[in-house]
Amino acid sequence: MDRRDVEITEKQTVYQGYFRVDAYRLRHRLHAGGWSRELRREVFERGHAAAVLPYDPDRDTVLLLEQFRIGAYLADLPPWQTEVVAGIIDEGETAETVAVRETREETGCDILDLVPICRYLSSPGGMTESVALFCGRVDSRNAGGIHGLADEQEDIRVEVVPANAVAGLLEQGKIGNAVTIIALQWLLLHRDALRRRWGQVDSADR
């Protein structure tokens, strides 16, 4: 099935603020043949995002961020979430541009090389947001401290974490958001290849 197998009969913006909510009436083709009955669905329009796992192959460390998240608080999860770098892609920007900018703003580090990981949907049942996820090479020697833009009221603490500790963080349930879980699991699978790409020895030989 493809986009031609969906018919939008009505679209209405029901909320417009910092974000937007649109209400749709639609129908779609069924796996067994024919068409569904008309459905009404509300869709949260948040925009699209780029995210980066900053990784230093020379020191075999990652940079992880901690900041307050109202959604986590209201879901009765730890309100200060451990995360990777992320930001919204504005009109006219590329995901790569956002990845470089947000890494500088949120960690104080520059991206030396950028490797695409994947692009995925955050919550396809009710949001259009997709995330373009990358791994970015950084120099973590002077990383750490508090970062973020004052005019966006960002209060971001940066921690340098040994890559050897990543599996433990995941196994102990210390990470509670999808983008960071995906990024760290990817690193576990590709860490040795990544270090070879960036001129380091295989981590198993260290």
Active site residues: 152
How far apart, in whole angstroms, are the C-alpha atoms of residue 169 and residue 146?
A: 22
How far apart, in whole angstroms, are the C-alpha atoms of residue 54 and residue 64?
A: 8
Q: What is the dihedral of CA 165, 169, 171, 172, to 10 degrees?
A: 130
Tokens of 148: 């973020």
Counting Cβ atoms within 10 Å, is residue 51 exposed (0-12), middle (13-18) or buried (19+)?
A: buried
How far apart, in whole angstroms, are the C-alpha atoms of residue 17 and residue 35?
A: 34
The DSSP code for 35 is: B
How far apart, in whole angstroms, are the C-alpha atoms of residue 71 and residue 68?
A: 9
Q: Is 4 helix (H, G, I), strand (E, B) or coil?
A: helix
